[in-house]
Amino acid sequence: MPELKRLHVRHAPAVMAFELANRAYFAASVSDRGDDFFAQFTDRYKALLAEQEAGICAFYVLVAEDSSVLGRFNLVDIEDHTAELGYRVAQHVAGRGVATATVREVCRLAVAQHRLRTLRAAATHQNVASQKVLTKAGFVPVGPADPAHMGGMAGTWYQRDLVLQPYSAILPGDRLGEGRGHR
Ligand SMILES: CC(C)(COP(=O)(O)OP(=O)(O)OC[C@H]1O[C@@H](n2cnc3c(N)ncnc32)[C@H](O)[C@@H]1OP(=O)(O)O)[C@@H](O)C(=O)NCCC(=O)NCCS
């Protein structure tokens, strides 16, 4: 069964393989990483780990049993108990609910591990799959996103308020029978 893990130096080769194999697929929906990303991968990866170490970001990878990466889920710009969520899932597992289930899991981790109260995510108007992922994970649209933030495309900011309770976090979509076990 795939496992969600904090990004570690040992994941570097699998992350590189994931980004390369899905480059064209991702570029159809979000800005391409650019050739420099691949040429300078080792340095950029080290910089990500440093940002994570500093608590500015938290990066997660969904790792398959064969150690390949199925998806990346990132909490970036963590500040004032708020972060921006970004994610991408491999083409060969698309449409199976992987992004939806893992975004829900990341919301739980955002509370339990990072004490976050609010997550924000931006999706372009064309990215229907991402809009569905966000709404099914309890996010609501809160306003237009600056195209400069979205590779020049128009889009919408979504937000989810994470409910903190003393002993457990009860989050929309987590209650019994509400969306769990989908696919
Ligand atoms: C967006 C993305 C993460 C979705 O991953 P996924 O694991 O395929 O998503 P899910 O299987 O959880 O599907 C979510 C919903 O989108 C729908 N969907 C998937 N691809 C779609 C498409 N091309 N057009 C319309 N709907 C689509 C699914 O049917 C599902 O809806 P349903 O449950 O009502 O049937 C993936 O396509 C991806 O990595 N895209 C490139 C990067 C990206 O866009 N990241 C998000 C930036 S905001």
11-29: per-residue pLDDT in tens? 999 999 999 999 999 999 9
Render pLDDT for 159-177 as a digit per residue (tens, 0 to 9).
999 975 555 545 555 544 3
The three-state secondary structure class of 46 is helix
Cross-strand pairs, 143? 157
What's the CATH fold of domain 3-116? Aminopeptidase (3.40.630)
Q: CA dihedral in degrees (125, 129, 135, 138; nearest 10)? A: -130
22 Cα–ligand 1 center, Å: 14
| Whole-model pTM over 0.85 | yes
130 Cα–ligand 1 center, Å: 5
17 Cα–ligand 1 center, Å: 21
Cβ–ligand 1 distance for 87 under 6 Å, the answer yes
The CA-based angle 172-175-178, given to 5 degrees, is 85
Which residues, 6 or more positions from 10, have their beta carbon under 8 angstroms from its beta carbon? none
Do the beta carbons of residue 171 and residue 107 sit within 8 Å?
yes
Q: CA dihedral in degrees (74, 66, 108, 176; nearest 10)? A: 140
Angle between helices 128-136 and 98-112 (to 10 degrees): 50
Q: Which of 88, 153, 160 to mutate to test the pocket of ligand 1 (most atoms within 8 A of CB)?
A: 88
Do the beta carbons of residue 108 and residue 174 sit within 8 Å?
yes
Q: What type of residue is 145?
A: A
Render pLDDT for 36-76 as a digit per residue (tens, 0 to 9).
999 999 999 999 999 999 999 999 999 999 999 999 999 99
167 Cα–ligand 1 center, Å: 33
Q: How far apart are CA 16 and CA 85, in angstroms?
A: 20
